[in-house]
Chains A and B, each alone.
Chain A
Amino acid sequence: MPKRSDIHSILVLGAGPIVIGQACEFDYSGTQAIKALREEGYRIILVNSNPATIMTDPSLADRTYIEPLDVPTVSEIIARERPDALLPTVGGQTALNLAMDLHRAGVLEQYNVQMLGANVDAIATAEDRELFKQAMDRIGLQSARSGIARSLEEALELVKATGFPSIIRPSFTLGGAGGGIAYNAEDFRRIVEEGLKLSPIGELLIEESLLGWKEYELELMRDSAGNGVVVCSIENFDPMGVHTGDSITVAPAMTLSDREYQRLRDMGLAVMEVVGVATGGSNVQFAINPHDGRVIVIEMNPRVSRSSALASKATGFPIAKIAAKLAVGYTLPELPNDITKSTPASFEPALDYVVVKIPRWNFEKFPGSQPVLGTAMKSVGEAMAMGRTFTEALQKALRSLENGRMGWGADGSQPVPQERLRELLITPTPQRIFAMRTAFDLGWTVDQIHELTKIDYWFLDQLASLIALEKELRQYDLATIPAELLLQAKRNGYSDPQLAYLLNANAAEVRQQRLGHGIKPTYHHVDTCAAEFPAQTPYLYSSYETESEANPSDRRKVMILGGGPNRIGQGLEFDYCCCHAVFALRELGYETIMVNCNPETVSTDYDTADRLYFEPLTLEDVLNIVDVEQPSGVLLQFGGQTPLKLAKGLEAAGVPLWGTSPAAIDRAEDRGQFGEVLAECGLRATPYGSATSWDEARAIAERIGYPTMVRPSYVLGGQGMAIIHDQAGLDDYLRHITEASPEHPVLLDRFLEDATELDVDAVADGETVVIAGMMEQIERAGIHSGDSACVMPTVGIKPEVVEQLKRATDKLARALGVVGLMNVQFAVKNDEIYVLEVNPRASRSIPYVAKASGVAWAALAAKVMAGVTLKQQGISSAPELRGFHVKEVVLPWRRFPGATIALGPEMRSTGEAMGSGDSFGAAFAKAQAGCGRSLPTSGAIFVSVNDHDKPALVPVAKQYSELGFKVIATAGTAQYLREQGLKVESIYKVNEGRPNAADYIINGQVDIIVNTPLGRASLFDEQAIRQTALRQGVISITTVASAAAVADAIQALREGGLGVRALQD
């Protein structure tokens, strides 16, 4: 069937801010879908509150709304744009839920908008556990014994039948949030109560435990003619009990016979049909009893998903793109296979390689929470690797994670503590794969390890084969090792640093030795067909085979290094920058070569760059590609800290690096050198020092004074950063940090209380410096800029100070010799400027600045790095901003029960939303809504501010009062406000008595909190209030300026909405 001509415009819903369980894979799938639909001539209207996405680039959709993903906003957009259809299947659970809400609210019917891809009934059947179970019964498939509970009592009744251990799954939550495994009645009560709270419909599933069963997933596609194909089978290395997003997964399935596999295929296609998915992609998860092959259907998602993104990257089959085409009426046989270009898309990819995905976790950022893996997803990113064998792919994936490992051990890293070994094998944690390594090293057998982990023998045997190979390797040193054995090691994924460790040499020597033997990687096409047909699209991975298929061109080419696995502090924003660098350089006529190992990204889509190498971002792997491609230039600035770490090694190897030189990067990062730069510019930093010992650290702290901000050098996202108020605190901090990184110095900075922090992004070409954007942080100083809401343009900085900040940025760019992007963090206190830090690379804020200003700064910078000056590009300054643009962040507290809930200098947020409006208030309200938090329009406001802020608070409190809010305050603030004629109710501070402020918050008697820093004495009080507020989801404001903005926003909301605006308007 050809495409539908009865529809002309399609509304696409994005996934909103990045949260755990729903990350940039939906930017990838949404971007693909939009491109595919526009190619067909449809007018595309996009709504997504996340400005860091590629999909929200103004050039992608016809109409782009960076607006909240809620019913009122999207209804308004529908009324304005009158789309014929809605595609709800490429924006994750958020889009699916919103589509259902729009349907229930009657909006789709009112405006005659058809749902494409999945219909309401199919979504309901797939999402509602009871309906799903009934559907499975109808086609004779087994589900786990289970029942639905809407109260603790019902749950306790059910568990009598299903037994312990018991699996608890709240309905309609993302990535299994709030779910868990209960081994006893006590755990059970706790998890059920939390789950009932988290489920938007207060419902959960109590289920029989399938712990230790094998887990599989099929990615399927179906068209309107009823044709169905399986794109990819995935087998979990971790058996049932660990969320699939937290599992090491392998494609294709490794331990299924054809009969078993074809049975799953039949089941998967039948599930899709009975659920009623009309067209598009779905995944179906299965558990298989390892002893008798009994198959249980766990769940299905009637939409593209995290695993469909993985499957697309693993096979070269673009699921989201094909799903979009099927949604508008095409059938599978009508669509071509993009990779071969000669065969149709209606086939099932054949792999002659193995794909391993390993999640990346950030538990260290959430002290207090247990780093244990269960049914609720905790990982924040993932790395994928391909190899011709499992061992090769596994080791490549492990070194792609960038957590200091160069493979599966044999890299000098510490073994897990022996006394915890059993526990670390039994309980799934991020460490389990390395605990297994330790166990093997200690001589444990495969049987012993299987007994505790239940991991399939096949995988364990593969690991054991590595141990055996190492035994052989260790009999040699670099001088004596036979070339054949060296090659065998490389074919099993050993990195040069691992071989260096095993052969008592250094990595450079190993490299030299193996190149001397002619042992170098071969590159192979991800061709969808196991070499049956030639691939026309250069999507490559490395191995050590007999012939390479890289076939590099002799064009002028540039290599762009990506950011690797997502983690807190380095995510989607850098993928956005990498993609823009690619677009810009293609425009200049360069062949672009992308290197990255993150399957969730747009940058690893095979049609983003001219050539894609899906490879780990280590020096060895990058140099190998450079050897083959011989690029004219390599760009490191766009992938965050990951590529920058390689700068020195690449430079030493003579690789042409474009943009800011490694020496300049060093000058910015080395505090001593940076001090000289500041002096040269006549700028001031906060008093600071760099300590290599405890005594030195104490002395520096005494000299610069408390409070002091301490952190290890070379960190990302403020990891290990803390504000310390006295020597006891400092000692405590040092005890922890020296455990983490003994050889790195600790940096101490005087912390400026009550200052305003600003972020400035700029582009420089050595001649001209252009300020791209200046963002004022809305949170108080001391909170990581990545966790703070901020606003463009600035609202609380005097114009002359703004000018000074611009001049300072200009001077710094020149002094450092920046070519490309630069980000500066300033603090302003009493109109005095302090430079906090400079990062001579793309920053997290670049996409937000780009969306606010309408300029693709990353693309400009890439061109600058290729030698096209800003003047040649016709850019001398940023355009005047239209309105106000607020960025707000989302934090994953709910995923980490037990963690201390507080914002601080260490970044913990996973994603962001942008709100734009004519006033600061309107923009702020939209940013909140974009993060899924709606501002209260009535209720009570609790205020507690320092003396300095009291005068400014008066008109604000009055405004709230006039809006009908009850004003509640702690004694001091209450008295001041009463003196100014306001009606105020006073309550206790947390440490003064009960009921106190925290009790009020817990009881839901407070809707807004305004709490400015009161100094050290009341730190405890403030933290208690903020933690309670975060837990209860009550909006908490830490500056009077924001409080005023929120009041304006509420006023705007009450006066009838904030309006919507497309980027193209």
Chain B
Amino acid sequence: MTRALLALEDGRTFWGRAVGARGERAGEVVFNTSMTGYAEILTDPSYRGQLVTLTASHIGNYGIDQLDLEAATPWAEALIVRAFTERPSNWRSSESLSELLARRGVMAVADLDTRALTRHIRAAGAMRAVLSTEDLDPASLVAKAQAIPVMEGRDLASDVGTQTSYEWHEGTPTDFTTLQLALPEAIHNRHVVVYDFGVKRNTLRRLVDFGCKVTVVPNRTSAEESLALKPDGVLISNGPGDPATLEYAVDTIRNLIGQVPVFGICLGHQLIGQALGGTTFKLPFGHHAGNHPVFDTSTGKVRITAQNHGFALDPASLPSDVNVTEVSGNDQTCEGLQHQSLPVFSVQYHPEAGPGPHDGDEHFRRFIALVDQQRN
């Protein structure tokens, strides 16, 4: 058994057993309360720079289906779990989580008191931490945690987004296109350009499902360059890091708005908010879950959503021609916005799920409707 030590910047340490790669990883430690979806979480580029605590008791149970990977490579710095399953049991599994971690050199720690860690983060906030199998001296590791850069001010999206444009063609596997994910009758050949700040494959899949031709472009692509591709709509993706650092993106989006329908997800929502004049702030421990209620401010309806963000848009900072369309049921933060006259809207949570419930899927429909409306 290899012991692993997790040290937090405030001096708190947690012991566990190394189950992934050996070594040392640093980042911001956060927790996610989803009960399923470790493969998607591990590979979600938005977790770049973060050590992810999974609060569900058992992780690894159903192994890995390559279809569930949200990117070609894992992006979370490390996984922190309570009980780790070595041998998966599920018809879809093609390798075990253990094999994936080893293959990709991702660190993971098990048998750690994830609940105590989660309660600590809940009270003290997300913070810098180091996980190590090499340096098991608490004082030394705490010092290392204090030395790493804070999340505020970090542009991590540049690390994870694509450097070259590419087209995406794959849709959702048909076995899993349930009623809620059913498609509209008529399918038109729309072209959507996706700005990749760390886009998840499920977002691209849903666009394909809706009959879109999808071109993924690097996030530093200028408005002119992408408009030259003659898109029917532009999607600004999710991604990691501090949204306030991405001024280049905010400028680009400002130039896109009004030219073409724009839809933003998560980081994309925060960038659109900034492009419209708003500002962002850091949440104490963020929203990372698959069960967050979001209230639609116009209908009063609730959506159960997948969320993964450490920053939020300050609604008070938004100009009066921007409506807050959805708010969090838990902390009343802004979960969606729409411009009163321009074809632009965004949501803070993950309508593409992956993992998570499909309640937000209608926003893809809404985007497609907006695209179609503008085309006609």
Residues of A whose CB lies within 8 Å of any CB of B are 139-140, 225-227, 229, 233, 252-263, 265-267, 269-270, 290-293, 331-333, 342-344, 346-354, 388-390, 456-458, 461, 524, 529-534, 545-547, 549
Smallest Cβ-Cβ distance to B285: which chain A residue: A532
**Among B55, B118, B178: residue with most chain A CB under 10 A:** B178
B291 contacts A346, C-beta separation under 8 Å: no
Indicate whether A349 sits within 8 Å of B291 (C-beta atoms), given known contacts A293-B91, A293-B175.
yes
Given the complex, which residues of B lie within 8 Å of A353, measured CB to CB? 57
Cα–Cα distance between A257 and B304 once the two chains are bound (Å)? 18
Indicate whether A533 sits within 8 Å of B330 (C-beta atoms), given known contacts A266-B181, A348-B304.
yes
Give 12 CB contacts A-B under 8 Å.
Answer: A255-B62, A255-B90, A256-B36, A260-B92, A293-B91, A333-B295, A333-B329, A343-B330, A347-B330, A349-B291, A351-B56, A458-B61
A351 contacts B57, C-beta separation under 8 Å: yes
Does B83 reach chain A (CB closer than 8 Å)? yes
Does B355 reach chain A (CB closer than 8 Å)? yes
Given the complex, which residues of A lie within 8 Å of B179, measured CB to CB? 139-140, 266-267, 270
Does B290 reach chain A (CB closer than 8 Å)? yes
Given the complex, which residues of A lie within 8 Å of B102, measured CB to CB? none
Indicate whether A348 sits within 8 Å of B291 (C-beta atoms), given known contacts A139-B179, A388-B115, A531-B118.
yes
Given the complex, which residues of A lie within 8 Å of B301, measured CB to CB? 225-227, 333
Does B300 reach chain A (CB closer than 8 Å)? yes
Cα–Cα distance between A11 and B85 once the two chains are bound (Å)? 50
Main secondary structure of the interface of A (DSSP, over half): loop
A390 contacts B58, C-beta separation under 8 Å: yes
Cα–Cα distance between A72 and B181 once the two chains are bound (Å)? 49
A350 contacts B181, C-beta separation under 8 Å: no
Does B302 reach chain A (CB closer than 8 Å)? yes
Proximity bits, B321-356, A CB within 8 Å = 1, else 0? 000000001100000000000000000000001111
Given the complex, which residues of B lie within 8 Å of A262, measured CB to CB? 36, 176, 353, 355-358
Cα–Cα distance between A390 and B59 once the two chains are bound (Å)? 12
8 tightest A-B CB contacts, nearest first: A258-B355, A258-B37, A258-B36, A458-B89, A530-B55, A457-B89, A530-B33, A266-B178
Cα–Cα distance between A229 and B357 once the two chains are bound (Å)? 10
Given the complex, which residues of B lie within 8 Å of A269, measured CB to CB? 180
Count of chain B residues with a beta carbon within 8 Å of a chain A beta carbon:
59
Indicate whether A270 sits within 8 Å of B57 (C-beta atoms), given known contacts A257-B65, A258-B37.
no
B357 contacts A352, C-beta separation under 8 Å: no
Given the complex, which residues of B lie within 8 Å of A332, measured CB to CB? 302
Among candidates B33, B40, B173, residue contacting A352 with C-beta atoms closer than 8 Å: B33
Does B46 reach chain A (CB closer than 8 Å)? no
Does B231 reach chain A (CB closer than 8 Å)? no
Indicate whether A545 sits within 8 Å of B113 (C-beta atoms), given known contacts A257-B65, A347-B292, A350-B289.
yes
B356 contacts A258, C-beta separation under 8 Å: yes
B180 contacts A266, C-beta separation under 8 Å: yes
B68 contacts A257, C-beta separation under 8 Å: yes
Given the complex, which residues of A lie within 8 Å of B35, measured CB to CB? 233, 252, 261, 350-351
Indicate whether A547 sits within 8 Å of B116 (C-beta atoms), given known contacts A333-B293, A333-B302, A461-B87.
yes
B355 contacts A532, C-beta separation under 8 Å: no
Among candidates B89, B122, B356, residue contacting A532 with C-beta atoms closer than 8 Å: B122
A348 contacts B357, C-beta separation under 8 Å: yes
Among candidates A293, A344, A545, residue contacting B116 with C-beta atoms closer than 8 Å: A545
Given the complex, which residues of A lie within 8 Å of B295, measured CB to CB? 333
A547 contacts B329, C-beta separation under 8 Å: no
Indicate whether A388 sits within 8 Å of B300 (C-beta atoms), given known contacts A258-B356, A292-B91.
no
Does B215 reach chain A (CB closer than 8 Å)? no
B61 contacts A254, C-beta separation under 8 Å: yes
A461 contacts B302, C-beta separation under 8 Å: no
Given the complex, which residues of B lie within 8 Å of A140, measured CB to CB? 179
Indicate whether A293 sits within 8 Å of B291 (C-beta atoms), given known contacts A354-B57, A531-B115.
no
Does B234 reach chain A (CB closer than 8 Å)? no
Residues of B whose CB lies within 8 Å of any CB of A are 14, 31, 33-37, 39-40, 55-58, 61-62, 65, 67-68, 82-83, 85, 87-92, 113-116, 118-119, 122, 173, 175-176, 178-181, 289-293, 295, 300-302, 304, 329-330, 353-358
Across chains A and B, the number of contacting residue pairs, with CB separation under 8 Å, is 193
Given the complex, which residues of A lie within 8 Å of B353, measured CB to CB? 258, 262
Within the complex, the shortest CB–CB distance from B301 to chain A, in Å, comes to: 6
Cα–Cα distance between A293 and B299 once the two chains are bound (Å)? 36
Within the complex, the shortest CB–CB distance from B268 to chain A, in Å, comes to: 22
Smallest Cβ-Cβ distance to A226: which chain B residue: B301
Indicate whether A546 sits within 8 Å of B113 (C-beta atoms), given known contacts A258-B34, A266-B358, A456-B89.
yes
Given the complex, which residues of B lie within 8 Å of A267, measured CB to CB? 178-179
Given A293-B175, A347-B293, A547-B113, 15 more pairs with CB closer than 8 A: A229-B304, A252-B56, A256-B90, A257-B37, A258-B36, A258-B356, A259-B173, A266-B358, A269-B180, A346-B293, A347-B292, A347-B329, A351-B56, A352-B115, A530-B56
Among candidates B61, B113, B302, residue contacting A346 with C-beta atoms closer than 8 Å: B302
Given the complex, which residues of A lie within 8 Å of B116, measured CB to CB? 545-547
Cα–Cα distance between A538 and B91 once the two chains are bound (Å)? 40
A293 contacts B92, C-beta separation under 8 Å: yes
Within the complex, the shortest CB–CB distance from B85 to chain A, in Å, comes to: 7
A225 contacts B300, C-beta separation under 8 Å: yes
Among candidates B55, B92, B293, B300, residue contacting A257 with C-beta atoms closer than 8 Å: B92
Among candidates A342, A461, A530, residue contacting B85 with C-beta atoms closer than 8 Å: A461
A265 contacts B33, C-beta separation under 8 Å: no
Within the complex, the shortest CB–CB distance from B67 to chain A, in Å, comes to: 8
Cα–Cα distance between A461 and B60 once the two chains are bound (Å)? 13
Cα–Cα distance between A346 and B176 once the two chains are bound (Å)? 25
Within the complex, the shortest CB–CB distance from A339 to chain B, in Å, comes to: 13
Given the complex, which residues of A lie within 8 Å of B291, measured CB to CB? 347-350, 529
Indicate whether A259 sits within 8 Å of B57 (C-beta atoms), given known contacts A333-B300, A457-B87, A461-B85.
no
Given the complex, which residues of B lie within 8 Å of A457, measured CB to CB? 87, 89
Cα–Cα distance between A481 and B175 once the two chains are bound (Å)? 51
Indicate whether A346 sits within 8 Å of B92 (C-beta atoms), given known contacts A259-B68, A351-B35, A352-B118.
no
B115 contacts A347, C-beta separation under 8 Å: no
Cα–Cα distance between A531 and B122 once the two chains are bound (Å)? 8
Smallest Cβ-Cβ distance to A352: which chain B residue: B55
Smallest Cβ-Cβ distance to A288: which chain B residue: B91
Within the complex, the shortest CB–CB distance from A515 to chain B, in Å, comes to: 20
Indicate whether A270 sits within 8 Å of B180 (C-beta atoms), given known contacts A347-B292, A530-B56.
yes
Given the complex, which residues of B lie within 8 Å of A390, measured CB to CB? 57-58, 83
Indicate whether A458 sits within 8 Å of B113 (C-beta atoms), given known contacts A266-B178, A270-B179, A293-B175.
no
Smallest Cβ-Cβ distance to B112: which chain A residue: A546
Within the complex, the shortest CB–CB distance from A230 to chain B, in Å, comes to: 8
Cα–Cα distance between A139 and B178 once the two chains are bound (Å)? 10
Given the complex, which residues of B lie within 8 Å of A354, measured CB to CB? 57-58
Among candidates B85, B91, B181, B292, residue contacting A458 with C-beta atoms closer than 8 Å: B85
Within the complex, the shortest CB–CB distance from A226 to chain B, in Å, comes to: 7
Given the complex, which residues of B lie within 8 Å of A524, measured CB to CB? 115
A350 contacts B329, C-beta separation under 8 Å: no
Cα–Cα distance between A344 and B176 once the two chains are bound (Å)? 30
A533 contacts B122, C-beta separation under 8 Å: yes
Cα–Cα distance between A292 and B119 once the two chains are bound (Å)? 39
Smallest Cβ-Cβ distance to A531: which chain B residue: B118
Indicate whether A257 sits within 8 Å of B90 (C-beta atoms), given known contacts A263-B178, A351-B35, A530-B33.
yes
Within the complex, the shortest CB–CB distance from A478 to chain B, in Å, comes to: 23
B122 contacts A534, C-beta separation under 8 Å: yes
Cα–Cα distance between A512 and B292 once the two chains are bound (Å)? 45
Within the complex, the shortest CB–CB distance from A899 to chain B, in Å, comes to: 38
Cα–Cα distance between A347 and B35 once the two chains are bound (Å)? 14
Smallest Cβ-Cβ distance to B65: which chain A residue: A257
Cα–Cα distance between A549 and B123 once the two chains are bound (Å)? 14
Within the complex, the shortest CB–CB distance from B10 to chain A, in Å, comes to: 15
Given the complex, which residues of A lie within 8 Å of B58, measured CB to CB? 254, 354, 389-390
Given the complex, which residues of A lie within 8 Å of B57, measured CB to CB? 351-354, 388-390
Smallest Cβ-Cβ distance to A351: which chain B residue: B35
Within the complex, the shortest CB–CB distance from B170 to chain A, in Å, comes to: 14
